[in-house]
Structure 1
Amino acid sequence: MPSAGPATRRAVQLSALFAMFAAYTGQLAGALLPHVPIFIIASAGGLALDLYLQLRQPGLLSLLSKVRFDVTVRQLLRDMLIVLGLLRMEDINPIAEHSPLTIGLLAFYMTHFACQATAVLVRRSRTLPIVTRNIDTSALRLSPAPPRILSRRPGHRLLAFSVPVTAGLLATVVTRDALWGGIGLSLALAVAIAGTLYLAGWLLPAKRSATEAQVLKWLNHWLADYRPTVGMYFSGGTTSAYQANMWLSTLPQLDGKPVIVLRERFMVQKIDATDVPIVCIPKVAHLMHLEHSTLKMMLHPANSGKTSQVLRIPSIKHAFINHGESDKLSSCNPYAKAYDEVWVAGPAARERYQLADIGVDDRDVVEVGRPQLSPIRPYGGPPADDGLTTVLYAPTWEGWTNDPGNTSVILAGENIVRRLLADPGVRLLYKPHPMTGSVDPRAARANERIQAMITDANSRRGGPRPGPEAAAELRRRTVELDRLTSTHFRPDADEAERMMIQSTPDTDRAAAVTAATAAWERAYWASFPEWEHQIITGPRPAIYTCFNQADLLISDVSSVVSDYLTSEKPYAVANTSGLSEKEFRAGYPTVRAAAILSPDADGLPELLEAVRNPEKDALAAARAELKTYLLGPSDPPSLVRFNEAVVALCAKADDRRARMAARASSDVPTQREGAEETAAELASEEIELEPTGTREPAGTADPADAPEGSDSVNV
């Protein structure tokens, strides 16, 4: 079912915002009138609403914090209004007769801020300069985290501890007896002080983690013991982890010792299950520790702003492997010339780089195929006469350029889906790119409408369904796969505790995950009736599994097309670029063997007919030829060619290190030493040529005489 849209979320947030300000208004009105029932309801309701928002509407609270109306300000305002109400009520004077109430309230806030200061110190002491997975970290003295309500949730803590304060003060309003307010404040103070002291225990040596210097020293020792040779470097946003995950199956099969190097702390948990050691090094200064390791080369599945930082390490060779190849401009980024080598699937990408003329030397382009494509099954013939034709519609996202030709979702998606749903012999699998709608709101709205169309079509379609045992089998397989691929942390666990839990790799885990994934995929497809259309928006099932289910792919100009071609099954590409079909085919080699769909998708009936009747398929030979052009030869296998490229680039790194070692041990001066000697010789010659007393020796001029804007006059 489609998720709640932006309009619904905005309506909920606005309603909550109005309710919050209504509560403050009620408090103020109840205090000034004074009117006890209104005052009590508004005060208690405001606190309850804030507690609810902390759990259900963090987005709204984030917006309020940006305008400096955060939880501390909101609770202070509520308590000030309660004090105002106490002042306005008869027989109550919290400042004069009942001053302990006012003093107790101030003490409560002082304790809250002291607890917050302690929490900051604890978090800093537990934030290590690196984050790891699959590496023994016992030497770092990691310990379980303190309760998150004390250490990481100041808003929850303040509101929770304020409950007895508010309850006691409101009881005083009702009974006119300050004892209830004192009881509430005493209870809150006792809990806050105890929580602060308990939290401070994590600053003691017994629970304190290793210092930054100790952690970095440990990292150097681990690198020396493990002796990694091949690394995969990755940096990106929260939705980009798939770019690295697609290479996880390849890394363990390479000659050498692999390691994954990340830059963002959150990415450590975004990487799928793997036995390969993972090291996250956020700071560039700490990243330089890799220079003195045995690491010979880095594989780069994506470009990022932080990639330039690791390229500074001269002892490591770098290869750009990309996360998929397409004819889009992003597959020929000029940034690629910063790498030592650019690894591509086949001749098409090599030609693409040369035609783009972006400075990538053809000698640095290496054809390695696509080793991840081995799970894709080859063409097995047309759909059965009495069966449905399964069509996979997998459009890409809109990209950063807002080019209408990037994605078909906006201009053609609804027409394509409408025509497919109109054919009773079609079963549709809809799998949009995970970033669809992240740039252009029109794509998000079109995606929602497409999903609504599919849901409505299923409601009007009927047929036999699998028995309850199929759903039970899927649940069982899901639990098993989740157990293998996910580490379930307790809610209070922080980064250091997760490091401690994930410090021991399971050497059999990769094989177990592969088997469990295959079993889950079989159970997934068996749990749905064959006639039911599917909306697939999560990471499971993976796109390659959908390839194996499909008789036909409809997509855009993207790497999905190149990958699907390994099956040699029919495919179509939507042309929303505004180019003619002839120009479209000439400009994008990946569509040479595709059926071209216009934005109105008029050619779909003829395309489906060709899929069902292979004798009408005029593009079969072209697909076989294009497959080799895009992905390279089938023999030797892609993994073999990829591994050979790894070995060759590692050898280049070894050669460079040998040359540098020979240069360091020889009498030939280095570039820096040669420059210093030359400068000294020139300076001495200049002194000898100039008459005595007519000119200052080079390098001794008065800085005041330097031209404006220069840094120095020294030679």
Structure 2
Amino acid sequence: MASVGRRRASPRPSGRPLLAKGLTAAVLAGAFVAQAAGALLPNVPLLLAATAVSLAVEGVLFRWQPDMLPLLAKSHADITVRHVLRDLLLVVGLLRLGEHDREAQFAWPVAGLLVFYALHCAIQAVSVLVRRTRTLPVLTRNVDASALRLSTAPAALLRHPGPRLLLLGLPTTAGLVTAAVTREPLPAAAGTAVSGVLAAAGLGALLVRLLPSRRPAGEQEVLDWFDAWLADYRPTVGLYFSGGVSSVYQADMWLETMSRLDGRPVVILRERFMVARIAPTDIPVVCLPKVSTLMRLEHSTLRVLIHPSNSGKTSQVLRIPTIKHAFVNHGESDKLSSCNPYAKAYDEVWVAGPEARERYARAAVGIEDKDVVEIGRPQLDAVRPRSGPPAADARTTVLYAPTWEGWDGNPGNTSVVEAGENLVRALLADPGVRLLYKPHPLTGSVEPAAGAADRRIRELIRAANRERPATPAEPARSVSELDRLTAELDRLTAELDRLTAAGVREGADQVERMLAQSAPPPGRAEAVAKATAAWEEAYWATLPQDEHQVVTGVRPALYACFNIADLLISDVSSVISDFLASGKPYAVANTSGLSEDAFRAAFPTVAAATVLTPDASGVPALLDAVRHPEKDELADTRAELKLRLLGPDEPTSQERCNTALRDLSTTALNHRARGEQPEARQPRPQRLAEDFLPGPRRASGAGTEADAEVSSSVTPPSRSAPPV
């Protein structure tokens, strides 16, 4: 993004988290020093107090500061070392407290302690073996995998060494502490015996998992099963995604569109953890972590892969010659990321409207115009059009949804740092405004200054809610009515959690999830959509109409905020392009350092926006234009820009997307036909039609007459841009 803005020195991150971690580490170290002193002096009260403090700090670490555990492990002070040291100091204290002629009586507790730790190591080794047998080369959702002998996961306590050692070792520690008080070896021996028995039972439970009848299918058996599933389901179009937890929304936004495409869709993931993160869908989901497994798609009926994002692993699937690839992106804006040169690696680039086509032409990154296909934005069906200005007696709902700082660190990427607080103060100063603040989930991930500004904005909103006066304009709601609405929201939240969890218990591993999510109940996706709509309605109904909100998390979604808002304030990002579907006014904060004219010229999506300066001086006039449509001079410009950015309303975006899919599928069919030997091609034209072209989605792999009709076309239909 062009900018003459000055780079700022990033302030140091807040010292509070570091102070808390340092304090915890200091208390833990001090407890061990005090325990050593109590053992060597010997001093029973000091030994007991230090041991109690040490155990309490362990609880704090696992409950509130889990990010400290890897740091301690890197310092060779992991949970095993700490636990052994704690018990060792107790044994030293016992020996120092005991009389010389009774030291031999403590040999049995010491021997029991050694046996317990040996069993702990054995449990860890066997748990690793069990985990490897349960690490399958293919993971699925919404696919019947009962043939793979899937089973529930072992108890979480047996799979995690830290909590396991703490819990199973508690009898030993308690016995040693009691022995230090009573100066008798029996409590220590009893404690170590209990810990040993518990550890032996856990080891036995894991060993049973290694029996052939209890293990899931082996690697080759799973691969053979996967090949058979591909041959039976015969997918025709796939959504390919690879990324981290924070980027899963990029795939989620295309799931509904995929479910409405012609053909038999499938979702292809590359990261194992993403199988549990992807949003609820009835589409088969397949995770193929290894490249060698991914290459098995080459011999499948899959003809088109749709890519909502670029990633390092994208290059691996692009090597499959039998599949055509379309880049759809997860949003369009004037940023350089929306015309990335990597896009020329795909066969086609599917964009929303003419502006994106011209953006690629202006960028001159090697994308030929013939490879750009305009399909609109199918996801925007959820955005309701504007019904009119806010009522005279109602508050003006303003959505401030800034983007994040981006990877290049350009100050003009996000308004949070330069203008965020000024914008929020100006909005909060208007008593007729209700503010919804929805920051990008990656805010602060690159520049600490953005994270600090985000926290200050949230505090401004909380302070405004505390100080806001009572509003007589809002109809008074009885306590019973509010209780009813809250109860309904709680019920819908539980219903959504039940539907999205799909019966997966907490602590389930990937194989157990695969088992629990093998066959979604019919209509689950529709039930989730219906419950989500009801939840959003109940959510807004329970909130006071004059209360400002910080909106984070999965629910409510961004488009739900669009439908509530009368005005959007954002940055140069795909948010403003999507918001144009509503026809409502929007504003863009200019923190690039460019003049307003240069800013509008550099970013075409700003053409219909009110441009706000970092000092937010234009906010009062902007609000006045929203409340009085006769002062809104940009309404016609918004309608024209919507057409340029999103394309025409007819045919619908979903129809144009299906047309693009059919065209690219036909290209893939012709490419495969040319690649086969003539003798292999001639006897099976019907089979080509069944395998290579998308038809109506169905559970089995049987072809249809419609497939054969489409295959009769040798020349792909024209991919010219739809009329604008």
TM-score w.r.t. structure 2 length?
0.89
**Mapped partners of 1:579, 1:131: distance in 2:** 50
Relative to structure 1, the CA distance from residue 593 to residue 42 in structure 2 (aligned partners, 3 Å threshold; closer, same or farther) is same
* Deviation of the 1:60 alpha carbon: 1.1
Tell me what 1:501 maps to: 516
| 1:192-212 deviation per Cα after TM superposition (whole angstroms, max 9, x unaligned) | 112101111100122100001
Tell me what 2:431 maps to: 424
Question: Does the CA contact (< 8 Å) of 2:502 and 2:520 recur in 1?
Answer: no
Give 2:386's aligned amino acid: Y
Give 2:272's aligned amino acid: R
* Deviation of the 1:489 alpha carbon: 2.8
**Selected match of 1:316 from 314, 319, 323:** 323
Question: Does the CA contact (< 8 Å) of 2:271 and 2:287 recur in 1?
Answer: yes
Comparing 655-664 with 536-545, greater Cα deviation is found at 655-664
* Deviation of the 1:96 alpha carbon: 4.4
Question: Does the CA contact (< 8 Å) of 1:86 and 1:92 recur in 2?
Answer: no
Give 1:588's aligned amino acid: F
* Deviation of the 1:343 alpha carbon: 0.4
Residue pairs, 1:265-664, within 5 angstroms:
265-461=272-468, 462-463=470-471, 464=474, 466=477, 467-662=482-677
**Mapped partners of 2:483, 2:59: distance in 1:** 40
Question: Does the CA contact (< 8 Å) of 1:87 and 1:93 recur in 2?
Answer: no
Question: Does the CA contact (< 8 Å) of 2:401 and 2:440 recur in 1?
Answer: yes
Tell me what 2:255 maps to: 248
**Mapped partners of 2:453, 2:581: distance in 1:** 30
Tell me what 2:47 maps to: 39
Question: Does the CA contact (< 8 Å) of 2:503 and 2:516 recur in 1?
Answer: no
Residue pairs, 1:8-19, within 5 angstroms:
8-19=16-27
Which structure would you say has the larger Rg? 1
* Deviation of the 1:630 alpha carbon: 0.6
**Mapped partners of 2:51, 2:432: distance in 1:** 62
Question: Does the CA contact (< 8 Å) of 1:91 and 1:176 recur in 2?
Answer: no
Q: Percent identity?
A: 58
Question: Does the CA contact (< 8 Å) of 2:94 and 2:183 recur in 1?
Answer: no
* Deviation of the 1:631 alpha carbon: 0.7
Question: Does the CA contact (< 8 Å) of 1:142 and 1:209 recur in 2?
Answer: yes
Q: Secondary structure of 2:247's partner?
A: coil
**Mapped partners of 1:407, 1:397: distance in 2:** 6
**Mapped partners of 1:205, 1:666: distance in 2:** 44
2:62 equivalent to 1:54: yes
Q: Secondary structure of 1:629's partner?
A: helix
Relative to structure 1, the CA distance from residue 176 to residue 191 in structure 2 (aligned partners, 3 Å threshold; closer, same or farther) is same
**Mapped partners of 1:93, 1:347: distance in 2:** 93
Structure 1 unmatched ranges of 5 or more = 668-715
Give 2:173's aligned amino acid: T
2:119 equivalent to 1:104: no
| 1:397-420 deviation per Cα after TM superposition (whole angstroms, max 9, x unaligned) | 111111111100000000001000
**Mapped partners of 2:443, 2:437: distance in 1:** 13
| 1:114-171 deviation per Cα after TM superposition (whole angstroms, max 9, x unaligned) | 1111111011111111111000010000011111111x21111111121111122222
Q: Secondary structure of 1:203's partner?
A: coil
Relative to structure 1, the CA distance from residue 70 to residue 452 in structure 2 (aligned partners, 3 Å threshold; closer, same or farther) is same
Q: Which has the higher contact order (CA 8 A, sep 6+)?
A: 2
Q: Secondary structure of 2:256's partner?
A: coil
Question: Does the CA contact (< 8 Å) of 2:673 and 2:681 recur in 1?
Answer: no
Residue pairs, 1:145-156, within 5 angstroms:
145-150=153-158, 152-156=159-163
User: C-alpha root-mean-square deviation of aligned residues, in Å?
Assistant: 1.7
* Deviation of the 1:7 alpha carbon: 4.2
2:198 equivalent to 1:191: yes
Q: Secondary structure of 1:453's partner?
A: helix
Relative to structure 1, the CA distance from residue 425 to residue 81 in structure 2 (aligned partners, 3 Å threshold; closer, same or farther) is same
| 1:60-109 deviation per Cα after TM superposition (whole angstroms, max 9, x unaligned) | 11211122210011111112212222232241678745322322222221
Give 1:506's aligned amino acid: P
Comparing 509-518 with 650-659, greater Cα deviation is found at 509-518
Question: Does the CA contact (< 8 Å) of 1:296 and 1:316 recur in 2?
Answer: yes
Tell me what 1:206 maps to: 213
* Deviation of the 1:607 alpha carbon: 1.0
Comparing 484-493 with 178-187, greater Cα deviation is found at 484-493
**Mapped partners of 2:512, 2:681: distance in 1:** 50
Tell me what 1:124 maps to: 132
**Mapped partners of 1:48, 1:594: distance in 2:** 56
Give 1:79's aligned amino acid: D
Comparing 54-63 with 590-599, greater Cα deviation is found at 54-63
Q: Secondary structure of 1:250's partner?
A: helix
Tell me what 2:686 maps to: none
Q: Secondary structure of 1:239's partner?
A: helix
Give 2:149's aligned amino acid: R
* Deviation of the 1:24 alpha carbon: 0.4
Relative to structure 1, the CA distance from residue 536 to residue 14 in structure 2 (aligned partners, 3 Å threshold; closer, same or farther) is same
How many residues were matched structurally? 662
**Mapped partners of 2:155, 2:64: distance in 1:** 20
Give 1:284's aligned amino acid: V
Question: Does the CA contact (< 8 Å) of 1:44 and 1:166 recur in 2?
Answer: no
**Mapped partners of 2:253, 2:537: distance in 1:** 21
* Deviation of the 1:567 alpha carbon: 1.5
**Mapped partners of 1:578, 1:92: distance in 2:** 81
* Deviation of the 1:618 alpha carbon: 1.1
Give 1:132's aligned amino acid: T
Question: Does the CA contact (< 8 Å) of 1:83 and 1:94 recur in 2?
Answer: no
Give 1:396's aligned amino acid: T
* Deviation of the 1:56 alpha carbon: 2.8
**Mapped partners of 1:132, 1:541: distance in 2:** 28
| 1:3-33 deviation per Cα after TM superposition (whole angstroms, max 9, x unaligned) | xx96443333233222211210111111121
| 1:610-640 deviation per Cα after TM superposition (whole angstroms, max 9, x unaligned) | 1111111111111111111111111111110
| 1:295-325 deviation per Cα after TM superposition (whole angstroms, max 9, x unaligned) | 0010000000000000010000000000000
| 1:261-314 deviation per Cα after TM superposition (whole angstroms, max 9, x unaligned) | 000111111111100000011111111111111000100000000000000100
Relative to structure 1, the CA distance from residue 71 to residue 6 in structure 2 (aligned partners, 3 Å threshold; closer, same or farther) is farther
Give 1:501's aligned amino acid: A
Q: Secondary structure of 2:676's partner?
A: helix
**Mapped partners of 2:454, 2:127: distance in 1:** 43
Give 1:431's aligned amino acid: K
Give 1:335's aligned amino acid: Y
